[in-house]
């Protein structure tokens, strides 16, 4: 919720916003989560990659209590894809990348 709220405050023309989470678990019980990847997919018109990166950064470092708590327990990789278009059915990939905190995270294999 933080990322889309910040993008709106930055006056980005977002028509569709989707967040996917994938996490690895330990092989043995209690099978705790060992690392996670959050993928932000943003669709819209003229969305600035710098605005997306900054929104993710602010969410991770300042506003999201769940992410702050979980990041103390396991590495979290934050990735984004920016699409130009009006809907998920009619869009073109414009940019993709990742934002990492200072400590970095490479726990989730490509």
pLDDT digits (tens, 9 = 90+) for 19-37: 999 999 999 999 999 999 9
- pLDDT, position 100: 75
Contact 17, 81 (CB under 8 A): no
Rg, the chain, Cα only: 15
Averaged pLDDT score across all residues of the chain: 89
- pLDDT, position 45: 97
Question: Has residue 101 got a pLDDT over 60?
Answer: yes
How many CA atoms, within 13 angstroms, populate the side-chain half-sphere of residue 60? 24
How many CA atoms, within 13 angstroms, populate the side-chain half-sphere of residue 106? 0
Tell me: the pLDDT tens digits for 46-58?
Answer: 999 999 999 999 9
Cis peptide before 30 (omega within 30 of 0): yes
Domain segments of the chain: what residues? 1-17+48-110
């Amino acid at each position: 919720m933080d990322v889309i709220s910040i993008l709106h405050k930055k006056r980005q023309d977002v028509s569709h916003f989707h967040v996917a989470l994938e996490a690895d678990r330990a092989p043995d019980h209690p099978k705790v989560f060992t690392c996670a990847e959050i993928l932000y997919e943003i669709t819209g018109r003229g969305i600035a990659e710098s605005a997306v990166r900054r929104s993710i950064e602010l969410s991770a470092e300042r506003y999201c209590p769940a992410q702050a708590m979980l990041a103390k327990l396991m590495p979290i990789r934050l990735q984004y894809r920016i699409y130009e278009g009006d809907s998920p059915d009619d869009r073109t990939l414009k940019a993709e990348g990742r934002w990492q905190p200072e400590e970095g995270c490479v726990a989730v294999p490509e």
